[in-house]
Amino acid sequence: MVWVLAAAAGLWILGRVLGAPVSARWMMVALLYLAVLALLLIVPEGHPLQRSLGGSYGEWLVLGLLALAVFGYTQVLGRLKARAPDHAPKVAPGSFAPGEIDRYARHIILREIGGPGQKALKQAKVLVIGAGGLGSPALMYLAAAGVGRIGVIDADVVESTNLQRQIIHTDARLGMPKVFSAKTAMKALNPYVDVRPYNRRLTEEIAADLIGEYDLVLDGTDNFDTRYLVNRICAGEGKPLIAAALTQWEGQISLYDPANGTPCYQCIFPQAPAPELAPSCAEAGVLGPLPGVVGSMMAVEAVKQITGAGSTLAGQMLIYDALYGETRTIALKKRADCPVCGERA
């Protein structure tokens, strides 16, 4: 039996080294167990192979049933915990619970935010599209800042290649849908926030209804089809949009709010570039801390937009070059022929 258990441990470690999800590792161990059962079923009683495996068919079957019972118990317990009510005190929407004033004290003493600004954050509803590299820091800082309701939509699951930069996820949550992993981290950081996960892709059919429920949208996606869809719906609904993008060592961010006179995303990027000119992070690579820098900037812009503090990046684009430590800002202008917010639109 020792040899079989050692083989199971070896498969588990190998799967982790190769970056296989937890479910795949359990599958490898289960196949090993089934192989042992099949061998014991085939060989006659007292065969040397039976002694080398460390037990009879019945003993291994009982061991498997016990393991299955433990696994089932942990799954049921996890589901019960997920359904358990939050421990945060229940208060009226937009009101502060006991302990929240201390939590946000460093905001409240800021002259530009103060009590009214913190209350605006508490009453705000922000939708973050994508729980990846940009979404991870943005979501964490929005939760920490006390934004009352935070929606997050993403259809992907946590993979080992994400962990180099997507800091909201952990190795223990490999294989879990990203939105639920993000909710776990955000609620652990701040139990007072209302996190609404949407484990699906943002499509034409649901975009308008979903975006219509929120005051502000942060777009951290990595494909142009979704960016254009989000921009069009935000412009049509009159919702300000904070959008950012990354490539290797460089990031860019702006706030698009055509309802208040700024250009929209499609004014600046009339059409998607050829795929070879804008490769994805998986194709071109990306510096691990870069999404943290730009994603944090997205959260900063969101806090300023909600509280009215300072000046936002509306009508401007900030470009950060991490390789050479340079930051520059360029002015953006509306296009009269823009199909989304131009004169003909």
Among residues 48, 83, 118, which one ends one of the domains? Answer: 83
Instruction: Report which secondary-structure segment, H or E, holds 307.
Output: helix 290-307
pLDDT > 80? residue 37: no
As a whole number, mean pLDDT of residues 324-339 equals 94
pLDDT > 80? residue 143: yes
Model-level pTM greater than 0.85? no
Which residue, 308, 297, 300, is CA-closest to 112? 308
Same domain for 74 and 127, yes or no, is no
Domain assignment present for residue 320? The answer is: yes
Q: How many CB atoms are located within 10 Å of the residue 156 CB?
A: 15
Same domain for 16 and 148, yes or no, is no
| Cα 317 to Cα 135: distance, rounded to the nearest angstrom | 19
Helix axes 114-123, 290-307, angle to 10 degrees: 110
Q: Which domain holds residue 7?
A: 2-83
pLDDT tens by residue, 101-136: 999 999 999 999 999 999 999 999 999 999 999 999
Torsion angle defined by CA atoms of residues 32, 35, 37 and 42, in that order, rounded to the nearest 10 degrees: -160
CB contact at 8 A, 313 and 239: no
Domain assignment present for residue 242? The answer is: yes
Same domain for 167 and 236, yes or no, is yes
Same domain for 49 and 141, yes or no, is no
Among residues 49, 83, 117, which one ends one of the domains? Answer: 83
Among residues 25, 54, 83, which one ends one of the domains? Answer: 83
| Cα 256 to Cα 48: distance, rounded to the nearest angstrom | 74
Domain count for the chain: 2
Same domain for 154 and 28, yes or no, is no
Same domain for 146 and 241, yes or no, is yes
CB contact at 8 A, 311 and 322: no
More confident residue, 56 or 265: 265
Same domain for 136 and 227, yes or no, is yes
Domain assignment present for residue 88? The answer is: no
Angstrom distances, CA of residue 339 to CA of 232, 234, 235, 262, 334: 9, 14, 11, 15, 11
Same domain for 52 and 130, yes or no, is no
Domain assignment present for residue 93? The answer is: no
| Cα 107 to Cα 96: distance, rounded to the nearest angstrom | 14
Can you give the CATH number for the domain in which 174 is found? 3.40.50.720
Q: What integer pLDDT is reported at residue 13 of this predicted model? A: 75
| Cα 136 to Cα 54: distance, rounded to the nearest angstrom | 48
As a whole number, mean pLDDT of residues 4-17 equals 70
